Amino acid sequence: MALLEVEKLTVIEPRSPTWGRVGTDPSKLVDGVSFSVPPGQCVAIVGEHHSGTLPLTFALLGLAHVAEGRVVFNDREITNLSDRQMRPIRRQMPALFSDDFGSLPPHQTIDRILIGAHACGGGSRDKGDRIREIQRAMERAGLPLSSRHQYPRDLGPGDRQRTALARALLQQPRMLILRDFTRGLDPSLQAVLLNRLSDLKEELGLALLLITHDLAVADHMAPEIHVMSRGKIVDSGPRDSVISDPQHDYTRRLIASAVTLRA
């Protein structure tokens, strides 16, 4: 049984010039998309700018209105829930974006950021347990313990991403949504973070939904790949099948431009 099930999901541009006109179709940012993520598995959605991956991400998080279709997480339908209803859901499937400098409070130390995440995730109120649980999350994310008293601006891009990952782990998630999480990092650091995510998937039984513009990243991480273009899934299947026998010209172009991360 799937942890996340997305069925025929459609998201419409709310400010489309054709909005509400008789006999016209509003602009569909996501058009009838279906896929699932099993527990403890990694699935990739690949698409470049304007492919529909960003509104898809927002729809999964309850930040964009779903016009048609449904989203089911952990056997509960979460389509178009209120923001208040979605808050505990987002803690179970937090989203991490490329260089999370903007999402980390600039005037809080890393320690303070992680203490807040620990409290939101229902961690122990005992001070000693809290310290140990935060340190464990930092170690799992590969974040040096010496960074606890630094501010986000003091960290490099890699450690900011590790901070975001540690913060997410403290919420005790079932799944991570990784939206271009390693974009902009140098290839060696990118590979280190991706390998750490793979290790966490195995260690904690985490499901991973990898939403990326980079087919090479999907190839490195996900046994199952779905390719999006203009709001639709145009190629879908096991990784080797999608890469060795692409069914759509868009997928072929992605393959031609990809730089492999395989050793």
Q: Identify the domain containing residue 100 by its residue range.
A: 96-172
pLDDT at 190: 92
Give a yes or no: residue 107 inside a domain.
yes
Give a yes or no: residue 120 inside a domain.
yes
Burial status of residue 229 (CB atoms within 10 A of its CB: 0-12, 13-18, 19 or more): buried
pLDDT at 17: 54
pLDDT at 259: 61
Domain count, the chain: 1
Give a yes or no: residue 12 inside a domain.
no
User: Along the 263 residues of the chain, how does pLDDT read in single tens digits?
Assistant: 899 999 999 999 876 555 445 444 568 899 999 999 999 999 999 998 889 999 999 999 999 999 999 999 999 999 999 999 999 999 999 999 987 556 788 899 999 999 999 988 777 777 888 899 999 999 999 999 999 999 999 999 999 999 999 999 999 999 999 999 999 899 899 999 999 999 999 999 999 999 999 999 999 999 999 999 999 999 999 999 999 989 899 999 998 887 653 44
Give a yes or no: residue 127 inside a domain.
yes
Give a yes or no: residue 158 inside a domain.
yes
pTM, rounded to two decimals: 0.91
71 CB-near residues (< 8 Å, 6+ apart): 4, 5, 6, 7, 9, 59, 60, 77, 78, 79
Give a yes or no: residue 146 inside a domain.
yes
pLDDT at 174: 97
Helix (H) or strand (E) holding 28: strand 28-37
Range 184-196 burial, b when 16+ CB lie within 10 A, else e: ebeeebbbbbbee
Distance separating alpha carbons of residues 261 and 263, to the nearest angstrom? 6
Neighbours of 151 (CB within 10 A): 16
Give a yes or no: residue 161 inside a domain.
yes
Distance separating alpha carbons of residues 8 and 10, to the nearest angstrom? 6
Give a yes or no: residue 115 inside a domain.
yes
